[in-house]
Amino acid sequence: MQKRGNKYGIHRVIEPEGVLPQPANKIDNDMSEIYDNEILIDVKTLNIDSASFTDISARACGDKSKIAEIMLDIVAKQGKHRNPWTGSGGMLLGVVEKIGDAIKDKIDLKVGDKIATLVSLSLTPLRIDKIKEIRAEVDQVDIDGKAILFESGIYAKIPADMPEKLALSALDVAGAPAQTAKLVKPGHTVLIIGAGGKSGMLCCYEAKKRAGVTGKVIGLCGSPKSAARLEKLNFCDHVFVANATQPVPVLEEIEKLTNGQMCDVTINNVNIPDTEMTSILCTKDTGLVYFFSMATSFTKAALGAEGVGSDVTMLVGNGYTKGHAEITLQELRESPELRKIFEEMYG
């Protein structure tokens, strides 16, 4: 008889006692037996979140063997892949291997289904048996290994109409475009920071769709390459290249592009620190900043806004909102141009 588990996975926490799996320093990643409310996954690919992979790659000086060493060490020490420097994780692609007796009749999964987990690796019990390939350009790592999805964990079945790596890349950032769909209204002026990246392109598409012909979408890119890629999509009314860690030049550009009115909504998707003030200064007092970036310091954001007398509303980048997987995958179906770029980069 399988052991009874807690809905939120507290039964897997080793230390400190009394906390949930995400903030825990160490969790149990023994996969020899599962609890009655767990799903055992045969893992194929880890999609490390951008801030985390950028950090690990920098520490490894881009050396893939050192990246592998760092990842294995993280999992060995914690029983999960939570980057100790950024605190973030990612998500995974795998095949359902076993379903606990207490939930097998309550969920729409069966053994053999391909799924992407939509909860962070920073709380997911994980065992890496072998790192097979590191695709640094897309933050994905193919492995042999196992993982546990808790009863409260969310997931998406891999759709039949697109390659699994393509679906995984989009689902990894599903929270950003789905939140954009909720936040952007007709007529809004929207700034997307990190607009040429994976989440950025999806957000630009959704922002243009929601802001409509009376709105304006501005894309800030970190490099000429990403700007050229974004311009081809025609999602933005203006695209420019700038260093988002330097708020004054960006502020001056946004003042020009908005005739001093600034932005109603700013979506921050970058994978580097120190872009909080750029986001705040480019947004009008009655506006809203959505910090999707896991590199965000919410202390810097809060104190920084106070320091410049900004009454802007700031939202934490919750990677989940209802329907986020469906919204994001639908974007790839609706836009052949966007899907083509994603297939070239991630498919």
pLDDT tens digits, one per residue of 257-269: 999 999 999 999 9
| Per-residue pLDDT tens digits for 273-284 | 999 999 999 999
Taking the C-alpha atoms of residue 333 and residue 339, their distance in angstroms, rounded to an integer, is 7
Same domain, 194 and 265: yes
Same domain, 294 and 202: yes
Residue pointed to by tokens 């933050």: 139
Question: Residue 169 falls within a domain, yes or no?
Answer: no
Mean pLDDT, rounded, for 292-317: 93
- Count of domains in the chain? 2
| Per-residue pLDDT tens digits for 64-110 | 999 999 999 999 999 999 999 999 999 999 999 999 999 999 999 99
What local confidence, expressed as pLDDT, does residue 319 receive?
82
Q: What's the whole-model pTM score?
A: 0.86
Contacts of 219 (CB under 8 A, 6+ apart): 192, 195, 196, 200, 204, 227, 230, 235, 236, 238, 239, 240
Residue pointed to by tokens 């009115």: 261
Question: Residue 140 falls within a domain, yes or no?
Answer: yes
Angle of helix 50-59 versus helix 64-78 axis, rounded to 10: 120
Same domain, 211 and 333: yes
Same domain, 50 and 191: no
pLDDT exceeds cutoff 90 at 320: no
What local confidence, expressed as pLDDT, does residue 247 receive?
97
| Per-residue pLDDT tens digits for 223-245 | 999 999 999 999 999 999 999 99
Alpha-carbon distance values, 157 to 31, 92, 152, 345 (Å): 22, 12, 16, 21
Mean pLDDT, rounded, for 54-58: 96
Question: Residue 259 falls within a domain, yes or no?
Answer: yes
H or E element at residue 199? helix 198-211
Question: Residue 244 falls within a domain, yes or no?
Answer: yes
- Answer for the pair 236, 208: CB distance below 8 angstroms, yes or no: yes
Contacts of 320 (CB under 8 A, 6+ apart): 118, 154, 175
pLDDT exceeds cutoff 80 at 347: no
What local confidence, expressed as pLDDT, does residue 191 receive?
98
Q: Which of 158, 183, 210 is the last residue of a domain?
A: 158
Mean pLDDT, rounded, for 251-256: 98
Same domain, 94 and 42: yes
pLDDT exceeds cutoff 90 at 251: yes
pLDDT exceeds cutoff 90 at 131: yes
CB atoms within 10 A of CB 303: 11
What local confidence, expressed as pLDDT, does residue 197 receive?
93
Same domain, 127 and 236: no
Percent residues over pLDDT 70 in the chain: 100
Same domain, 135 and 188: no
What letter would DSSP give residue 66?
Answer: H
Same domain, 195 and 327: yes
What local confidence, expressed as pLDDT, does residue 194 receive?
97
What local confidence, expressed as pLDDT, does residue 345 receive?
87
Structure tokens at 26: 């160490």
Structure tokens at 225: 């390459």
Range of the domain at 43: 10-158
Same domain, 186 and 141: no
pLDDT exceeds cutoff 80 at 119: yes
Please give the single-letter amino acid code of residue 336: P
Question: Residue 1 falls within a domain, yes or no?
Answer: no
Same domain, 240 and 141: no
Please give the single-letter amino acid code of residue 60: A
Q: Which of 116, 131, 158 is the last residue of a domain?
A: 158
Question: Residue 167 falls within a domain, yes or no?
Answer: no
Q: What is the DSSP string of 96-133?
A: EEEE-TTTTTTSS--TT-EEEE-S-TTSS-EEEEEEEE
Structure tokens at 311: 């009454």
Same domain, 211 and 151: no
Taking the alpha carbons at both ends of the chain, their separation in whole angstroms is 42
Question: Residue 4 falls within a domain, yes or no?
Answer: no
CATH of the domain at 186: 3.40.50.720
- Answer for the pair 207, 263: CB distance below 8 angstroms, yes or no: no
pLDDT exceeds cutoff 90 at 294: no
Q: How far is CA 89 from the centre of its chain?
A: 9
Same domain, 215 and 301: yes
Taking the C-alpha atoms of residue 50 and residue 61, their distance in angstroms, rounded to an integer, is 16
**Position 165 confidence tier, pLDDT thresholds 50, 70, 90:** confident
Q: Which of 158, 192, 210 is the last residue of a domain?
A: 158
Contacts of 77 (CB under 8 A, 6+ apart): 26
What letter would DSSP give residue 322?
Answer: T
Mean pLDDT, rounded, for 321-342: 94
Question: Residue 3 falls within a domain, yes or no?
Answer: no
Please give the single-letter amino acid code of residue 146: K
